[in-house]
Every structure is written in structure tokens, then in C-alpha cells.
Amino acid sequence: MRSLRFSTRAECWERQRAAGRYNPGREALIHLRDRCLIVPIGAGGRDQVDVYQDHDRIAIVAVNTGLPYAGLELFTLEGEAAGDVFVQEGEAYESIGPKGVDYAPATIARRLGEYIY
């Protein structure tokens, strides 16, 4: 997996409304080699977010060690959702490993990716 440059921001009202989301959301602006891709993400404002590219998929991993939980969202290179998984507390220890969410983000992304078909 290759780490990608990105930034996050609040999702604009027009996109939220068009998608039928009425709670404030976030979106990731992912810098690919030839363009910038904007995708809505489920990460919270206090989550650590990291973005990776693995072949033809973009993986966005969000981790919150305080609560603890982790989520992984997969997108195509065109920005279409390809799957997601979310684990918290005991599930994190079972699905990620004995340290729960206290692994490197790339490790969490790789291990959670096994649960997306």
C-alpha cells in the first residue's frame, strides 16, 4: 500500500443534501497523480485519518484510540464506494489483533480489509 497526500474538510451542504445526509459530514480530498478526488467519509472530527492506495482501490482508515474504534472505507479510483467495515472495543481486538487499535494505520487498514468482500 502506498500512502497518499490528502486533506479533510466539512462536506458542503449541497452535497450532503443531494446524498440525503442531514448531519454534518466530512469529505476527503485525495491527491492522485493526475487529479484530486473528493469522497465523503464517515470519520469523526477527532479521528486519526490516513489514506492509502492499493492497486485499483483507495483505502481510508479512521482510528480513535480514546473510544476505541477503527473504520475502513474502500473506494475505486473513480470515487465509487467499494465497501466498508467498522469495529469497536472488543471487536477491534478480535479483528485487528491483541493490541486493538494500537497498531500502525497501514496495519489496521490491511487487517480490516480482509473483512470487505
* Residue 24 in this model has a pLDDT that exceeds 80: no
> What's the length of the chain?
117
> How far is 17 from 65, CA to CA, in rounded Å?
31
Domain count, the chain: 1
Please give the Cα distance from 31 to 93 (Å, whole number).
32
Is 12 within 8 Å of 21 (Cβ atoms)?
no
Give the per-residue pLDDT at 108. Answer: 97
Q: What does the pLDDT average to over 43-65?
A: 95
Task: Provide mean pLDDT across the span 46-67.
Answer: 95
Q: Give the containing element (helix H, strand E) for 54.
A: strand 48-54
pLDDT band with cut points at 50, 70 and 90 for residue 12: confident
Q: Given a cut of 90, is residue 48 above it in pLDDT?
A: yes
Q: Structural domain of residue 24, as residue ranges? A: 2-113
* pLDDT value for 23: 79
The residue-averaged pLDDT of 93-103 equals: 96
Tell me what pLDDT residue 56 has.
93
